[in-house]
Structure formats: C-alpha cells, structure tokens
Amino acid sequence: MKLSRDAMAARVARDIPEGAYVNLGIGLPTLVANHLPPGREIFLHSENGVLGMGPAPPPGEEDADLINAGRQPVTLLPGGCYFHHADSFAMMRGGHLDICVLGAFQVSATGDLANWHTGAPGAIPAVGGAMDLAIGAKRVLVMMEHHTKTGESKIVPRCSYPLTGIGCVHRIYTDLAVIDVNQDGLQVVDMVLGLSFERLQQLTAAPLLAPRGA
C-alpha cells in the first residue's frame, strides 16, 4: 500500500511543470530528477553554483570540479551555467526558484519545517542551504516517509525538533498521501490506493481535512 521511494519521487515529478527553476534537496528529493519526463525542460539548480544541472556522468567521466550539493558528480546541460555562492543564494533567498523539494524530520500543522538537526546530545548540527531554501523558494515541497522508522507520525501538531523555517511548507508528499498546508489546515489532496481518509487520520498526529469531493 505504501509508495516506494521511487514512486514518491514520480509523484512529486508529476507536479513540476515545464520551465520551472527547481532545487532538489539532498537525499530522497534527489530521486525526483530521475522521474522528470525527458521532453519537459526544467532547470535544476544546485546551491554550489550550478543552474541547468544534468544527470550523473557515465563511469570514468566524473569531474571533481562538477558536483551537486550532496558532493556527487553531475553534468551540465547545454545552456547551463556556473556562478558563485552569493549569486546562488540570491536565487534561493530572493524568491527566484519556483520550487524546492526538501526532506524533513517533521512538518507541523501550520507548515513549520524541521529538517536540519535532531538536537540530540552529541549530534553534530549541520544546516547547509536548508534554511535559505525554506524561506526563499516560491513553493516549498516536502518529501518524506509518513512515519519515522519507529512508527511515529512525522506530521505533527508542533515540531519537537529544532525548526528550519516557520510556516514555510506548501505541500507534503509522503508514502501515504499528498497534503497541502492551507490557511484552514492540512488539506489532503490524494492518498495511496486502498487507504481511507479515516485510516490516514489515525496514522497522522495532526488533524487533517478530508479530500475535497470525497
């Protein structure tokens, strides 16, 4: 019943239109690139100064000077370009990116995002570009499993982990559902086949609004 990681990535990719300037966060969101239809021109941005980022190079053609935010080797599409970090983050913070897709530990009922630090003793905090993307992209999409490995809901009334941004998430894609963060609450957009709204609500720690027309 649950969507695989690739099926989640394909679901996110469906919602990315031609011409969009998009940043895919490291980890799960990186998979979205594999599911963008080849005919659709989409500009992928990498925070380390790449616009028009292409797929991984064939083995043996990796270039240590051309990597993505996760330090994996990538390529540049014809028409792509390079720039320094202040310009790259101007694109992010300045509202020029249409979409960013981020992973998360937790998303709250009001769209607060926690995705950079567990706050656990001994944990090494690392933030990277997450806070800039969270407040800067026109649409912030979160892609995550609905539950933690120990079965707790990652959609919560209030985040217990340190925040990345306040009220910044627009839409959540999980392995169970797609949920919009609206003014009036968490609006379910669609659910995996065979899952009822009542069951989804039981599995989610924050209150949900039933899909429209359901």
Partner 1 sequence: MIDKTVPTADAAVAGIADGATVMIGGFGGAGQPDELIDALIARGATDLVIVNNNAGNGETGLAALLKAGRVRKVICSFPRQPDSQVFNALYRAGQIELELVPQGSLAERIRAGGAGIGAFFTPTGYGTLLAEGKETRLIQGRPHVLEYPIRADFALIKAYRGDRWGNLVYRKSARNFGPLMAMAARTTVAQVHEVVAPGDLDPEAVVTPGIFVHRVLRIAETRLAGSAKEGALPGDGHHHET
**Residue 113: burial class (beta carbons within 10 Å; 0-12, 13-18, 19+):** buried
Q: Which stretch, 79-87, 146-154, 178-186, 205-213, contacts partner 1 (CB under 8 A)?
A: 79-87
Is there binding between residue 50 and partner 1 (CB under 8 A)?
A: yes
Give the shortest CB-65-to-partner 1 separation in angstroms. 4
Other Cβ atoms closer than 10 A to 131: 18
* Residue 93 binds to partner 1 (criterion: CB under 8 A): yes
Name which of 47 and 175 has its Cβ closer to partner 1. 47
Helix segments in the chain, DSSP class H: 5-14, 85-93, 130-136, 197-202
For position 56 contacting partner 1 by CB under 8 A, the verdict is: no
**3-state SS class at 78:** strand
d(CA 37, CA 92): 24
Q: Which of residues 108-167 bind partner 1 (CB under 8 A)?
A: 117, 122, 124-132, 135-136, 162-166
| Only segment of 59-67, 147-155, 178-186, 206-214 that touches partner 1 (CB under 8 A) | 59-67
198 part of the active site:
no
Measured in whole angstroms, the distance separating CA 34 from the mean position of its chain's CA atoms is: 14
Rounded alpha-carbon distances, angstroms, from residue 207 to 53, 76, 79, 200: 39, 43, 45, 10
Which active-site residues does the annotation give? 47
Binding site for partner 1 (CB under 8 A): 46-50, 57, 61-67, 71, 76, 82-86, 88-89, 92-93, 117, 122, 124-132, 135-136, 162-166
